[in-house]
């Protein structure tokens, strides 16, 4: 009989993926990690029963959280990733030759270790890139104590429960902003607005108090069920106003091959349907 992994993240909605072959099942000090094969999504990683990444559709999430801020920024050289233990965010950021340094802060060394073994295609060698510095620490503690400055900060967090909860607070966002270089950009994972509207509203309320330009943009990631996903955007610069022809020039110059991101998709992602726009204070 087929085993099913049932995600119970939302109170009145569930999704289930068939566990065609279980590859890993273990509890760390922070969370329960499972990796299994699924006929549609390939290898799937769940943390405490919630889908975090799949081989088949991770490119959408990772491309949109990296290429949008990096290409919108005039000259992103230093990138900070909070979370991202599977290595996919680092993979996409390091595809930009102009990016000189990426610091990745992951709370759970166990996630990194088993992703390198069981999901190596997601990091695609990123952990061996000399431009990457991996720090095993709590992201909230890192930004509190950080004396460095970054052009782009990407918060690749889990949902706001358990270890990820602190990464959705006003205190965390304020400290992260202090780590931004002038005209730097902060982007965040903010869940599926149709299901998690309060999560987006709370983040946007904090962003509106911190940044001159605060909004979100959208992308549809099939394994994050319930509608398009929202990514928070905050900056004191004018990067969101970068015109299409400039984005196209930067994209061509970067020489990055993508499967979801294009400059046109980049601009269109900021066009919010009314039900999402109403969630922004």
Q: What is the pLDDT of residue 218?
A: 98
SS3 content of the chain, % helix, strand, coil (to 5): 35, 30, 35
Strand, coil or helix: what is 177? helix
Q: What is the pLDDT of residue 163?
A: 47
Q: In the numeric block, which tokens belong to residue 127? A: 């952990």
pLDDT over 50 at 146, yes or no: yes
Q: What is the pLDDT of residue 26?
A: 85
Edge-to-edge strands, sheet with 32-38: 21-27, 32-38, 42-47, 50-54
Q: Given pLDDT bands bounded at 50, 70 and 90, which one contains residue 29?
A: confident
How much is the average pLDDT of 29-50? 91
Fold agreement (3-54, 58-277): no
pLDDT tens across 242-263, in order?
999 999 999 999 999 999 999 9
pLDDT tens across 155-198, in order?
997 654 444 445 457 789 999 999 999 999 999 999 999 999 99
Buried b (16+ CB within 10 A) or exposed e, 47-58: bbebbbbbbebb
CATH architecture of the domain formed by 58-277: 3-Layer(aba) Sandwich (3.40)
How much is the average pLDDT of 41-58? 94
pLDDT tens across 72-95, in order?
998 999 999 999 999 999 999 999
Q: What is the pLDDT of residue 27?
A: 82
DSSP per residue over 116-170, as a string?
Answer: HHH-HHHHTTGGG-TTEEEEES-HHHHHHH----EEEEEEE---SSGGGGGGGSH
Q: Given pLDDT bands bounded at 50, 70 and 90, which one contains residue 225?
A: confident
Q: What is the pLDDT of residue 210?
A: 95
Q: Given pLDDT bands bounded at 50, 70 and 90, which one contains residue 1?
A: confident
Strands (E), 11-49: 13-19, 21-27, 32-38, 42-47
User: pTM higher than 0.85 for the full model?
Assistant: yes
Using CA atoms, how far apart are residues 159 and 161, in angstroms rounded to an integer?
Answer: 6
Catalytic residues: 156
Neighbour tally for 180: CB within 10 Å = 22
- Short-list 28, 222, 226, 51, CA closest to 36: 51
Strand, coil or helix: what is 36? strand
CB 70 within 8 A of CB 153: no
Q: What is the pLDDT of residue 166?
A: 52
Residue ranges per structural domain of the chain = 3-54, 58-277
Domain 3-54 fold is Spermidine Synthase; Chain: A, domain 2 (2.30.140)
How much is the average pLDDT of 230-239? 97
What's the chain's average pLDDT?
Answer: 93
């Amino acid at each position: 009989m087929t085993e099913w992994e049932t995600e119970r993240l939302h109170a009145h909605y569930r999704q289930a993926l068939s566990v065609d072959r279980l590859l890993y099942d273990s509890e760390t000090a922070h969370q329960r990690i499972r990796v299994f094969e699924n006929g549609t999504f390939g290898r799937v990683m769940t943390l405490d029963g919630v889908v975090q990444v799949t081989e088949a559709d991770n490119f959408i999430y990772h491309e949109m959280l990296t290429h949008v801020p990096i290409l919108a920024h005039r000259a992103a050289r230093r990138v900070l990733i909070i979370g991202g233990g599977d290595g996919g965010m680092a993979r996409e950021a390091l595809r930009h030759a102009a990016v000189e340094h990426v610091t990745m802060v992951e709370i759970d060394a166990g996630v990194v270790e088993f992703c390198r073994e069981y999901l190596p295609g997601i990091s695609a060698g990123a952990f061996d890139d000399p431009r990457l510095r991996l720090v095993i620490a709590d992201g909230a503690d890192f930004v509190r104590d950080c004396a460095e400055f970054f052009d782009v900060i990407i918060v690749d967090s889990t949902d706001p429960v358990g270890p990820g909860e602190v990464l959705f607070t006003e205190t965390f966002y304020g400290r992260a902003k202090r780590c931004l270089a002038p005209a730097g950009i902060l982007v965040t994972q903010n869940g599926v607005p149709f299901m998690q509207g309060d999560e987006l509203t709370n983040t946007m309320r904090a962003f509106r108090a911190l940044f001159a330009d605060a909004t979100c943009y959208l992308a549809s990631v099939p394994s994050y069920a319930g509608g398009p996903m929202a990514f928070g955007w905050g900056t004191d610069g004018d990067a969101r106003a970068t015109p299409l022809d400039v984005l196209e020039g930067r994209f061509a110059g970067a020489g990055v091959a993508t499967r979801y991101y294009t400059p046109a998709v980049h601009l269109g992602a900021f066009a919010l349907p009314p039900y999402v726009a109403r969630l922004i204070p």
